[in-house]
Copies of this chain bind each other. A is one copy, B any other.
Amino acid sequence: MQFYKDGFRGGSPDVKQAAPGRRNRGVNEPLPEKVDVLIAGTGPAGLCLAAQLAQFPDIETMIVERMPTNIIKGKADGINTRTMEMFQAFGFADKVKRETYWVNQTNFWMPDPVNPQHIKRVGRVQDVADDSSEMPHILINQARLHELFLEVMKNSASRLEPDYSWEIVSLTVDPTTDDHPVTVTLKDASGVNWWATRTVRANYVVGCDGAHSAVRKAIGGELHGDAAHQAWGVMDILANTDFPDVRQKCLISSASEGNVLILPREGGYVFRMYVELDKLKDGEKAASRKFTQDDMIAAANRIIKPYSIDVKEVVWWSIYDIGHSLTDKFDDVPEGSDRAPRVFTAGDACHTHSPKAGQGMNVSMQDTFNLGWKLVHVLQGRADPSLLRSYSKERLTEAKRLVETDHEWSRIMSAPTTQAERDGTEEPRIIRQFKANLEFTGGTAVKYDTSTLFAPPTHQALAQGEEIGRRFHSAPVVRLSDAKQMQLGHAAEADARWRIYAFAGQADSSNLGSAIHKLADWLETDAKSPVVKHTRKGEDIDAVIDVRAVFQQTFDQLAYEHMPSLFKPRTGQLGLQDHEKIFCVDHKGAGDIYDMRGIDREKGCLIVVRPDQYIANVLPLDGFDELSAFFAGVLR
C-alpha cells in the first residue's frame, strides 16, 4: 500500500486525511437537501457501494438505513474467492483472512450402505482448486463484514457514515431536469423525530434495500420466481459433537430424515447448520409452521446419526424460505427508451437466491462494485451517462445465469441417490456436480458479453489465461524497485481507475526502441494516447488510467534506470516518484506469470482491466489505434 505521497502523516495509513466541508450527522442535524447519490440500505450491496463512493469526497453520497444500527449477528456468511479479490482492492482482505474460517475442504456424507440409518463420509473435495484464485473461500458473520465496510467508509476522505433510522417510503423521477431529478421521501423509523418525513433530492438513487425493496417497487419492479417449497432452518451455534468433520464444510444426506449443511465459522468454535425442515405447500410460508430452535436441533440430531450434537448456546437462528427470484431490469429506464437511468436496484432488491449455494451476499456486492465506478465516471464527467445503462445489462445476465445454476444445484441436492451411488460403485452425482460448480461458486466463472466495455476477442491468443469479459486473474510477480514478491492483481485498488498491464516480449528489457519503451512513450506523450486524451490538465498522469509493466527477466537482470518515465511518474502534491509500477517474474519459485496466464512470451501483450477488475481488452503492444478506439468508446 502507498501513502505519504502528499507529505508525512502519522497514525494508521488506512485513515485518510479528511476532506473539508463534510456535513454533520446526528439526530439534531438536518438531512441534506441534495446529494449526488442516495443509497438505500446498509446490507452488503449498499455498504460496498458506499465504501467505493466514499473514496471520492467530491461526490456527495448519502446512505440511509431504516434500522437504528448495524446488525450484530446472522444472515449470510459465505464469501467466495472472487469477493475476497474485491476485498483486497478495498484493503481489508488481510484482516478478513486472519479472522475468518477458511473453507479448504467440502465433505460429503450419505447413508452408510451397510447401515442406512447411519451416515458415512463418501467423499472429500478440495474446495478452492489450485491456482483458481490467490484468495481463500471464507465464512464470516455478515454483521462483522458490514463493520469492515463501515470502517473503510469512516476512514475515507469523506468520513462517510450511514444515516440510520430513516426509511425510504417513496421516490419520483423528474425526467425533464438533470439537476437532482430524483426526489426521495424518507420517514423517521425510530420515532425520535416523531415519524416525520423528509425529502432529499438526488442525482442517482440506488436501492440496496433487500428483498422487499421500496426502491424497486417505486420504479415498478417486481420479483418473479419460485416460491421456496422447502423450509430450511439456519442456526449459528456453539456446541460439542462427536461428528468428526464439524470443522469442515459438510453436505450430509440421511436416508430418511433429510439433509444438513454444516458450515464451520470464525473463531474455531461456532458453526452454522442449515437443517432441511418440512416441505411447504403452495403459497405456504415457513413462518406459519412455527418451527422452534429445538425442532431444528432435534432434526439435526436425527439426520447425523450415529453422531450427536450437544448445543451450548444458540447464537442466532432463523427459518429461511427465500427461493430464486429476479426482476426484469435493475434500473428505471422504460422498455424501449434510450434515456440514461437515474434509479438502480442491486442485491436482494432485484434477485434472491437460495442459501444453499452461498451466493446471495457475494452477488449483491458484485452488483454494486460493477455500478460504483460507473457512477464515479459519470458524476466526475469522465464518461457519458449512457455508461450507466451497462449496469443492468451486465448484471441481469449474470443474475439469470446464477438463478439457473442455483436451480440445477437445488434439484441435485434434493434428488434421491441411486443404488450405484449408495454402493460406492459410482461417485455420487452431488459430488460430481459440486466439483463442476466450483468455479461458479467461487465467483470466478462470471463472463460478460462483448459490448463497448468488452472488446471482441480478436487478440485473445496473446493472453490465453486472461479472457476478455472475465476477472483479471492475478498471479505472482516481483516488484522491480524493491524485489518484493507480490500478486500482480493486488496493484489494483478500489479507486475507479483503469489499469493497463503491459507484458514485455522475451528480449525486451525496456531498452530504448523496444516495444515497451515505444508504448510507454506513446502513452505518455502522443495526442492520440488514451492516457493523454482522458487525463485532465493538472491531474496526475495515472489519475484515470494506471499503466504498469511486467518483464520476463528477474529483478537482478533489469536496470531500473532504463525504465521509461511513464512507469516512474512523479505524482501527488509533492511530485514524488512512484516506484511501484514495474514488475518482473518471480525468482523464488512462486511461478512464472507468463506461463501461468498463457501470455505470449515472444510478443508480449497489453491487458486492459476495468476499475471493477474485469478484463476489457487484450491487445498487441503496438495496438495503439485499437487502444485509442477502445477508450474513446468509454471515456470522454
**Which residues of A come within 8 Å of B, CB atoms?**
1-5, 7-8, 10-13, 72-73, 94-95, 97-99, 101-102, 104-105, 124, 130, 141, 143-144, 147, 236, 238-242, 244-248, 264, 266-270, 312-313, 315-316, 481-485, 556, 559-561, 570, 574-580, 588
Contacts and interface: CB of A to CB of B under 8 A. Distances in A.
A45 to B, nearest CB: 21
Given A12-B144, A94-B97, A101-B482, 15 more contacts: A3-B268, A7-B238, A10-B72, A11-B144, A11-B147, A13-B267, A104-B485, A105-B482, A240-B570, A240-B577, A241-B577, A244-B561, A247-B481, A269-B577, A269-B578
Nearest to A10: B72
A483 B238 CA distance: 21
Contacts of A11: 72, 144, 147
Contact of A99 (B1, B143, B245): B1
Contacts of A264: 482
16 contacts: A1-B267, A2-B267, A3-B269, A4-B267, A4-B269, A5-B267, A10-B72, A11-B147, A241-B577, A244-B559, A246-B481, A246-B579, A264-B482, A268-B579, A269-B577, A269-B578
B104 A484 contact: yes
Contacts of A559: 244
A312 B482 contact: no
A10 B315 CA distance: 10
B244 A124 contact: no
A484 B636 CA distance: 48
3 smallest CB-CB distances across A and B, nearest first, come from A10-B72, A247-B481, A3-B267
A469 B591 CA distance: 37
Contacts of A2: 267-269
Nearest to A9: B72
Interface centre among A11, A264, A570 (most CB of B within 10 A): A11
A618 to B, nearest CB: 29
B13 A99 contact: yes
Contacts of A101: 482
Contacts of A316: 8
A313 B99 contact: no
Nearest to A1: B99
B556 A124 contact: yes
A468 to B, nearest CB: 31
Contacts of A313: 7-8, 574
